[in-house]
Structure formats: structure tokens, C-alpha cells
Structure 1
Amino acid sequence: MIGSRSTLDTPFGPFTAVVDADGVVLAAGWTTDPDVRLLPLIHASLAPDEVVERADLGAVTAAVRSWLAGDPAPAAAVPVRQHGGVFLQELWARMRDIPAGSPVAYAELATLAGRPLAARTAGQACQTNAIGLFVPDHRVRRNDGSLGGYRWGVEVKAKLLETEANWP
């Protein structure tokens, strides 16, 4: 299978998305080196045999542009696929339901996924999430309210949250 990738300049740095032949997002994030920082995140069972550079990924690129313009709905609707167990899949799905501008704590995310005592697993879901922005793990904080870590840098996470908090 041949996949595609595209990079857009954003106020937070270059944003790259990698999609499969059907346009399903397999990895995405803020990086200048997708070969090193994105492609290894794709599980072998999902990985394309080859990834070609494209200027535009259709609905995926449009969703990123919409998010940058203050409309997060298209990004939440873009199809995504990543490898993980049933509960990780549920946590990633619940992340997609978190409204922009309303971050939640790990414990709240675990509760949303039906397992209120699984805050550590919620943290693991954020740590292993390969699909930044489309699976918005930046909207999940530590239980004490601090930002916690972020694959793309805490500074980027803070800017993303600030941007979303200022949308109407």
C-alpha cells in the first residue's frame, strides 16, 4: 500500500500528517522530520509500504486549515487509525469528544471511557497517541491541572490550549 504525507506551516511549527491509501490518518504532529518523528509511530500492521509527499491531502488538509481558522469540527470528523487494545481505542475515541477550549484531567478522561480508576492508562493513551490534533491529546492535563508532557513539546501544547480557549 502507498501512503501519503503533507506538511503545512502553522503558527505552532510545521504540521505533518501521514495517511493511508484511503486517506485515513495514521500519524500526525508538529515536526520538521516526519521520517524520524512520525513514520516510526505507525504500527507495522498499519504502515504503508511507501509514503509519497503530496502538496494536499484533501479532507485532511482542509480539516487542519479549518482548525487553524477556529473550527475544530472537521478535524474531529477525519477518519483515523492507530494500533492499540480495546481500552486504548476507547480512550482515543473519547479524546476526540473533548470540546476545544475545555481540557480534562487524566481521571476525567478515564471516567469518560468508562473506567474511572484508570487515570494512569489515560496518561498512557496520551503518551502513545500517534495522531496529534485529530486525536487531541493536548486537551488532556494532569490531575493536578498542570499541563503534563506532550510529544510535540509542552510549549506547543500550551499554545494549542491557549488558541482553543480564545475561540468564540
Structure 2
Amino acid sequence: MTASPARFATVDTPPGPFTVVVGPDDVVLASGWTADVSELLPVVHRALRPTWVEAAEHLPALDKVAEFVAGDVTAIDGVPVRQRSGPFLEDAWEVLRTVPAGEPDTYAAFAARCGRPAAVRAAANACARNAAALFVPCHRVLGSDGGLGGFRWGTPVKRWLLDHEAAHAPVPA
């Protein structure tokens, strides 16, 4: 358990309110499209889950969310995130951060990117268990048929994110 309180703040985004929970060091513990912080706390690993949270007027991570919404879809790339689980999930969450904006993977391609091409279900599970939506961009993984697949915050939010990133992604060199 964290001895210091975590902080949270919410900002409006085109697909809806977006809330971020950070530890005392401003590292993102959880985030998602909700105005209710109590929806985020259960997804924080028990070893990282704060004993209490306090509202904050400003969090640095929300500056990056504003930049992302304004069109800099790479602004979220460097935001520090802390998640805990087994080795595969922790590795998969790091690998998710390498999927470029505007170039989504399928679950099969994501599994291969993780070095385990046969582990498609495990790759999908990594997306489903991701607590730090947007900063760990699980929305960039699609079904094998190219369909949206699932998303904790709803497929309309996932569609908006993918369309936004496609419209603003840097052109590959």
C-alpha cells in the first residue's frame, strides 16, 4: 500500500471526461474516460493501490492529454506510468507503448510484437487489464478481422481515438 495519498484530476475531452490518478511522484497509476475516480481505483494493482486519493487542481499528465487532444498524438508517449502484474503483462504494457499512433496492430500482430506470436489471447488480456488507458495505448490494438474489438471505456471512445490518431499521426520518415 502507498503511504502517501494519490491525487486525481479530470479534464473534458471530445469523447468524454478523462480522469487520471497519479502517485506522489506524478507517475500515472490509472486513467480512463470517467469522471468517477472510484471506477479507476479497483484496476490499480493491490501493491500500488493508494489508501486514499485527493483531488488535484492540476496534474502534469493532463497537460499531455490536452496536447494529444489538440493534435500532438505523440505527447502521451513520455508520460511515466506504473503498473504491476506478472512478467508477460508488464512486458506487454511496455510493448503497447511502441505501437505507433495511426498504425494500429491486430491482437495477433501485437502478440508477435511481444515475442509470443501464439499468445493472442494473452495479448488481448494485456489490453483488457491495462489500467493506464491512453498513456498505454491499448486502443491501438484491433481484432484480427480489423474490427474494433473491446475497450473498457466503450467502442465509441476507441473509434474516436483511432480516428483522431489517424488524422494527426506523424508521417513515417
Give the TM-score range, shorter chain. over 0.9
Report the AA paired with residue 24 of structure 2. Answer: A
Q: Tell me the CA shift for residue 73 of structure 1.
A: 2.5
CA contact (8 A) 2:10 2:17 kept: yes
* Structure 1 ranges of 4+ moved more than 6 A: none
- Aligned ranges for residues 40-59 of structure 1 at < 5 Å? 40-58=42-60
Partner of 1:161: 162
Q: 2:7 aligns with which of 4, 13, 29?
A: 4
Could you tell me how far apart the structure 2 residues matched to 1:43 and 1:97 are? Answer: 22
Question: Which residue pairs with 2:16 in the alignment?
Answer: 13
Between 13-22 and 111-120, the greater mean CA deviation after superposition = 111-120
TM-score, reference length from structure 1: 0.95
Deviates more, 1:14-23 or 1:87-96: 87-96
Residue aligning to 2:25: 22
**AA in 1 matched with 2:143:** R
CA distance in 2, matches of 1:61, 1:157: 19
Matches within 5 A, 1:44-83: 44-58=46-60, 60-83=61-84
Tell me if 1:114 matches 2:122: no
Distance 1:55 1:13 in 2: 18
Gaps of 5+ in 1: none
Shift in Å, 1:104: 0.4
Instruction: Supply the AA of the counterpart residue of 2:120.
Output: A
Deviation at 1:161, TM superposition (A): 0.5
State the TM-score, normalized to the length of structure 2: 0.93
CA positional deviation for 1:32: 2.4
Cα distance, 1:140 vs. partner? 0.3
Q: Distance in 2 between matches of 1:78 and 1:132?
A: 12
Query: How far is the alpha carbon of 1:3 from its aligned partner?
Result: 0.8
What runs of 5+ residues in structure 2 fail to find an aligned partner?
A: none
**What percent of counterpart residues are identical?**
48
Instruction: Report the Cα distance in structure 2 between the residues aligned to 1:31 and 1:61, rounded to whole angstroms.
Output: 14
